[in-house]
Structure 1
Amino acid sequence: MVPGVLFAAIAVLIGVDVVGDQLSGASGLHLGAETGVFLLALSGLAWLWRQVLLSRRRTRQLQRRLLDARADVGRLRADAAHWRSEAQSLLQGLGVAIDRQFAQWGLSAAEREVGLLLLKGLALKDIAETRGTSERTVRQQALTVYRKAGVAGRAELSAFFLEDLLLPQAAQQGS
């Protein structure tokens, strides 16, 4: 706001000087020059005042947008928390169902662990590192899981558990 004070001070001082010069009979050229500077100072002051008003308006708009964005973030966080809670419950149910099916197939504890890691999508090498065993051992355990489950490989194992998660065609079209 310092430039505004400066323009206002200049305008006042020049205005006083113009009036004083006019009363003392200064030349028309001198009065014209000082009047021009006075008008320039007034227009600078008007321009600055307009900028201040525009800045205030933009600030209010940005504050409203910020409040709206905060409200949106709050709603999104609430939606995400609800989804996570619901998904967690469903995943726990799926985990129980998978474990029950593994038991029906007669998988050992090691085979169950390998089966879960296969379902999670880990590579045989990564499963071996995670379990602290050789890749050859993991490969053999995976083959045993597939044989006991009656599936040809990882894709069929995953499909066994996930195939029914796909909604029927009619249900997909309704949503």
Structure 2
Amino acid sequence: MPQATISLHDKQFAPYLPARQIADSIRELAVRLNQDYAGRQPLFVAVLNGSFMFASDLLKELSIPCEVAFIRVSSYQGTSSTGQVQEIMGLTEDVQGRDLIIVEDIVDTGHTMQALLATLNARNPASLAVATLFLKPECLQHELDIRYVGMEIPNDFIVGFGLDYDGLGRNYPDVYKAV
């Protein structure tokens, strides 16, 4: 059962999505990925820091042979996107001719995802897909083909399950929204 409210820095957050609902959504995504990538060996590219919990739980649900790698990018400061993507820690694996699946915690404006897709497409993968736990369709500022979406949510600022507010809140198993 989620805590009633939590305080992070100068904001209050109320319960929004319980861990059980998140787990159900991840299992549904894994079923689709297992079907779509049967007979293949994709490389999952988890975007740090936010996707670590999602990536971990998703990979545990997969029955296909797969690999995982990590990339760290940033476009957030506080509660809003800066609009500028900075690659902090790059992908070292050779991805040419590989099936890649980007694992992201949340896609809102799409700035980060658009830059990441362009960077990875330039490395000539066999295929490139996105799996995101959360999508904020009303925030999107780019046309993106996001094939695997756990949940579409409104434009609320959320924390928990890997998502943070200036470094705090990632550790909560449930998701909370700012009030």
For normalisation by structure 2, the TM-score amounts to 0.27
Q: Higher helix share goes to which structure?
A: 1
The structure number with the bigger radius of gyration is 1
Q: Higher strand share goes to which structure?
A: 2
**Greater relative contact order (Cα < 8 A, sep 6+):** 2
For normalisation by structure 1, the TM-score amounts to 0.27
